[in-house]
């Protein structure tokens, strides 16, 4: 639960009155709530904790750090789950 994962915002929408986004984490796409990063725009990177964006990352820095998350995704794949811990065979 404590893994804060950096991801790129690829879509922003409203859901039940909350600002939400689709986030791309090195290939796995999932939803996150963006209420705490109200000024974030599509294309920017955010650190997501348990489904909530908690900061807007500096883009250069975020890109540098993505490689390590790809490694995480690879090692997670060996255990049969994606970077978020979801089983890989369950298409989302």
Partner 1 sequence: MKYLDEFRDPVLAKKIVAEINATVTRPWVIMEICGGQTHSIIRNGIDQVLAKEIELVHGPGCPVCVTPLEIIDKAIEIASRPDVIFTSFGDMLRVPGSKKDLFMVKSEGGDVRTVYSPLEAVEIARNNPDKEVVFFAVGFETTAPGNSMAIYTAAKERLTNFSELVSHVLVPPAMEALLSSPDNRVQGYLAAGHVCTVMGLEEYIPIAQKYHVPIVATGFEPIDILEGILLVVKQLEEGRCDVENQYLRSVKLKGNIPAQNIIQKVYKVTNRKWRGIGEIPRSGLSIREEYIDFDAEKKFSVGDINTMESDLCISGEILQGLKKPHECPAFGKECTPTHPLGATMVSAEGACAAYYKYQRLR
User: Which residues are near partner 1 by CB under 8 A?
Assistant: 1-4, 16-18, 30-33, 35-38, 47, 49-52, 54-55, 57-58, 61-62, 64-65, 67-68, 71, 84-86
DSSP state of 30: E
Shortest distance in whole angstroms from residue 73 CB to partner 1: 14
Two tokens at 34?
């963006």
Residue placing its CB nearer to partner 1 in the complex, 22 or 49: 49
Residue placing its CB nearer to partner 1 in the complex, 42 or 70: 70
Q: How far apart are CA 90 and CA 7, in angstroms?
A: 21
- Between strands 45-49 and 18-25, the pairing is unpaired
């Amino acid at each position: 639960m404590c893994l804060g994962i950096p991801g790129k915002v690829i879509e922003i929408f409203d859901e039940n009155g909350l600002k939400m986004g689709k986030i791309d984490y090195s290939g796995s796409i999932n939803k996150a709530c963006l209420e705490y990063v109200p000024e974030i725009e599509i294309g920017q990177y955010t650190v997501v904790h348990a489904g909530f964006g908690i900061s807007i990352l500096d883009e250069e820095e975020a890109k540098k750090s993505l490689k390590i998350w790809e490694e995480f995704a690879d090692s997670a794949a060996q255990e049969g789950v994606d970077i978020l811990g979801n089983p890989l065979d369950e298409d989302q």
